[in-house]
A and B are shown apart, each in its own frame.
Chain A
Amino acid sequence: MIEVDNLTVRYGGVTSLDALTLVFEQGTCGLIGPNGAGKTTFFNVLSGFVKPASGAVKAFGTDLLGLAHYRRARWGVRRTFQTEQAIEELTVYDNVAMVTSPLRGAARRADVLAAIDFVGLDVSPGTRVGTLGAGQRRLVEVARAVAGKPRLVLLDEPAAGLPEQETRHLAAVIRAIPGHTGALTILVDHDMSLVSAVCETTAVLDFGKLIASGSTAAVLRDEHVMRAYLGTAEV
């Protein structure tokens, strides 16, 4: 469980997250909102790339904001990026094995291979990532996020730019992450069909504020959410 309390992030004069208070319970949770709503900023705060102006984040009882980036990863935070960040020069195996892990030796190798297996990559672990296509690279990144006993997996638009069939495959993978790793998974995406297919609960941000949260189906019917996405008739 992640408890976000009064989290505020400012970039100069822009308030990207405005006193955000929010709880993610368990399983796969969606985080949606129009462009500039603060979704990626929220991820950046959790993974340590952005220092908030104020507020607190407690993850499973740990004060996350007190840890340096790489210590957060050791604690169990994993994330993927909006622009995919698989390391081209390395093999699939090395790309996944680069993530920090409490496991050692044979157990660690087995864990890495299990992660590659889990995301359903149908290439040899010795293949160089530079030779793979966009969809496969995304899977490599997801495999990296589920290796090494994660506790919190943050996926930032993992399906961006993927064809429908690969998106469906990715959806199945993401849905299985909490069961496979026990980690709380948060998915940011613009693709509503993906979010409603994958997430049990969803939170909606607009201009750095939480405007709705709850079960995904209810949230997507919420009139505030419709207004944020589609605009209002009165204007």
Chain B
Amino acid sequence: MYYLSIGLLGFVLNAFFCFGTPATVRAEDATFKVGLVTFLSGGAAGPFGVPARNAAELMVEAINNGTVPAPYNSKGFAGINIEPTIIDEAGGGTKQVGEFRNLVQRKNVDAVIGYISSGDCLAIAPVAEELKALTVFFDCGTPRIFEDNTYKYVFRTGPTSTMDNVAAARYVLDLKPDLKSVAGVNQNYAWGQDSWKDFKDSLAVLKPSVEVKTEQFPKIYAGQYGSEISALMVKGPEIIHSSFWGGDMEGLVLQGAARGLYDAHTGLFTCGETAMFRLADQITEGTIIGGRGPFGVYAPDNELNSWFRENYMARFATPPTYPSYKMAQALLGLKTAVEKAAAGKNEKPDKESIIAAFENLEFEAPSGTVRMALGNGHQAVQDMFYGQFTNKSGKPEVYNVKRYPAECVNPTDGVTSSEWISTSLKNTPCK
């Protein structure tokens, strides 16, 4: 009797789950769950995380309503509404791995878009692969993601930091063909060290006579840069390269400007675009500003960009900076891939077909055309721009803007950035 009862119970449970499952699947089919991870607290929240979150809010709403201009004027992802879950990226790699597992295993998201910190991207990528979770990095810059490993489930729709620094080296030589000396002040972790290495190595290849006067590596979030500024002033380089971002960059700009550092030595901020509106009256005229790609003030004049800028400014009363552009780009990349995978089908596409559609994809964004050309079709490349800052008209602008096509500032697929810089950079002209 006991075994009969157990058997009956098993039968009832089996029937419940077997017949109950399709209803659940149908419910899940109605939405495309996306985990959105960006800094909502900490020093990176203001300049990066919040603009990215704002862009995500704007884009998810517009995509669901089908109000994004063509070719994105269809509703949702292939008609499926996006259901976002926003997570704070603060707390470091270990915490983020836990949050990522929650998103994938408990919330059953269909995809995760996120990560500003290169450290977080390096921590998440292998976990995404282990969990077979479709993951789109939107902002982090380290080229090591796809240079050190091959991933099936991981994509990055934003360019790597290599092109920031290779293009920076090209720009300073275009601006000052007789350049004699440079110095660097970069944060003492992977991002700062890789950025400086790429810049220094590129200069060594393009103009070996350029002398490196000093290489400063203050701790991330140090806040006080008085000694570093003194060291830079004592050494007297023509150009000061910095990949500082967020509050660190803003602190360096403020403290350097108060001491006249950038009057005699031209500052080059590879992430400077995020500060050019916030600190317009503090940035020295002629400072070289990068925007990590064709974003913000470097974005092209097209319908998507006009729509994005207008709507973003109307909603948040500030122009979108590059993290906003990159978040919008990631969402549009995923939409393109999902719709390509869903073409000709009447159901939500499965993960494998989305991945197949995403690889080597070419899609349009407010920043122009994005090509998933590196990392076996998982890593985006774009053109790179640099310009000099001016506020003479009372409106922060850039002048002397130069465009560097993706091909002359990015390695070829299968070659690491370091190898490419040392072997091929010199022979890759910018057309």
A-B interaction: no
